[in-house]
Amino acid sequence: GLRNEEANILVVGLDNSGKTTILNQLKSEDTRAMDIVPTIGFSVEKFKSKSLTITAFDMSGQGRYRTLWEQYYRDCQGIIFVVDSSDKIRMVVARDELDSLIKHPELAIKRVPVLFFANKMDLRDAVSSVKVSSLMGLEDIRDKPWHICASNGLTGEGLHEGIEWLTEQLK
Ligand code: GTP
Ligand code: MG
């Protein structure tokens, strides 16, 4: 279990999927940013989920920065993978990135829980979390516990269900 009540969580997914927006929602109201800009490189955010203090590594999803993700595989206890549910075209790219993540030697050796947010559920073009799950090939993930939640990063809908699942996995 987590004796020190702290966990490092790696937050990945394509650019524009809503990672920074989601993390901003999870912070206490008084520390929230007013506006969100595309992440350059990565940034570190802290928030609490019950008694657990989470340090989130909010990675940039832009192609040229994706090579940074693997530098954090070794030290993370959990992963949040954010998918834009309305971007069916780029979900193929997201699936490729997920495949490389799952197969990466640093992660292949550990049973790290992976939480998926099927984000932007509010958009007209958004597909269901079940559909995101099949388009992303999540059933093929064998050696890691995973969970998917439909979410709305703008309102916070669906976020706490996901974070609670992740927190439970980290105990
Ligand atoms: P990078 O830092 O470039 O990797 O992107 P990111 O994944 O951090 O995305 P970011 O949080 O910057 O959000 C991208 C855009 O999507 C912003 O305009 C957000 O306001 C918007 N957005 C985030 N979540 C949602 C959502 O659930 N619904 C809608 N409609 N828009 C959202
Ligand atoms: Mg960002």
Count CB-CB contacts under 10 A for residue 67.
Answer: 8
Rounded Cα–Cα distance for residues 56 and 124 (Å): 30
- Residue 51 is predicted with a pLDDT of 85
Q: What does the pLDDT read at residue 46?
A: 94
d(CA 59, CA 49): 20
pLDDT > 90 in the chain, percent: 91
Catalytic residue status for 169: no
Q: Whose CA is nearest to atom 13 of ligand 1?
A: 18
CB burial class (10 A; 0-12, 13-18, 19+) of residue 118?
Answer: buried
Residue 141 pLDDT class (50, 70, 90 cuts): very high
Q: Is 150 a residue whose pLDDT tops 60? A: yes
Residue-level pLDDT at 38: 98
Span 114-120, average pLDDT: 98
Beta bridge partners of 10: 57, 79
CA of 36 to the centre of ligand 1 (A): 8
136: nearest Cα among 101, 160, 104, 111:
101
User: How many A from CA of 58 to the centre of ligand 1?
Assistant: 12
Model confidence at 4, pLDDT cuts 50, 70, 90, reads: low
Mutate to test the pocket of ligand 1, among 11, 14, 16, 82 (most ligand atoms within 8 A of CB): 16
Q: Which long-range contacts (CB under 8 A, 24 or more apart) does 102-110 make?
A: 102/141, 102/144, 104/70, 104/73, 106/70, 106/73, 106/74, 107/73, 108/143
Residues 54-108: tens digit of each pLDDT: 999 999 999 999 999 999 999 999 999 999 999 999 999 999 999 999 999 999 9
The pocket of ion ligand 2, defined by CB under 5 A, consists of 19-20, 39
Q: Which of 62, 71, 77, 169 is catalytic?
A: 62
pLDDT at position 34 over 80? yes
- pTM recorded for the entire structure: 0.97
- Residue 81, Cβ density class (10 Å: 0-12 exposed, 13-18 middle, ≥19 buried): buried
Q: Is the pLDDT of residue 1 over 70?
A: no
Q: Please give the structure tokens belonging to residue 84.
A: 């834009």
